[in-house]
């Protein structure tokens, strides 16, 4: 059985900055999640969000959330935000 192609994971500048501000263990866990299982299949671990976040998916690691979009044509997952769950869905 052939394995589907992995997605490339890209971080926006804001998401990368937010990731660096997190505690080291949390940042490492989120990075491993995003570049591992999410890169393999971003639909399996994530959930699609409702308005006003149409087209945005969310995945979690403990109390932290990573918000991302999926470009199916280019096979790219773009992480747009990384934050504690109390702040993740607030207007930016």
Q: From 3.30.2310.20, 3.40.50.300, 1.10.10.1100, 3.30.1540.10, which CATH number describes the 19-85 domain?
A: 3.30.2310.20
The per-residue pLDDT string of the chain (92 residues; one tens digit each, 9 = 90 and over) reads: 556 679 999 999 999 999 999 999 999 999 999 999 999 999 999 999 998 999 999 999 999 999 999 999 999 999 999 999 999 888 65
Q: Which two tokens stand for residue 90?
A: 């607030």
Single pTM value for the model: 0.90
| Boundaries of every domain in the chain | 19-85
So what's the pLDDT on residue 60?
95
Cβ burial of 1 (10 Å; 0-12, 13-18, 19+) is: exposed
So what's the pLDDT on residue 89?
83
Task: State phi, psi for 77 to the nearest 5 degrees.
Answer: -105, 120
Q: Which two tokens stand for residue 38?
A: 């999410």
Question: Cβ(11)–Cβ(22) under 8 Å?
Answer: no
17: CB partners within 8 A, 6+ apart: none
């Amino acid at each position: 059985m052939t394995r589907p192609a992995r997605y490339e994971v890209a971080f926006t500048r804001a998401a990368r900055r937010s990731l660096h501000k997190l505690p080291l263990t949390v940042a490492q866990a989120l990075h491993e999640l995003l570049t591992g299982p999410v890169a393999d299949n971003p639909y399996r671990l994530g959930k699609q969000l409702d308005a006003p976040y149409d087209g945005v998916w969310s995945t979690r690691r403990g109390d932290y959330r990573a918000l991302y979009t999926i470009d199916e044509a280019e096979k790219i997952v773009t992480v747009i935000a990384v934050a504690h769950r109390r702040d993740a869905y607030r207007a930016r």
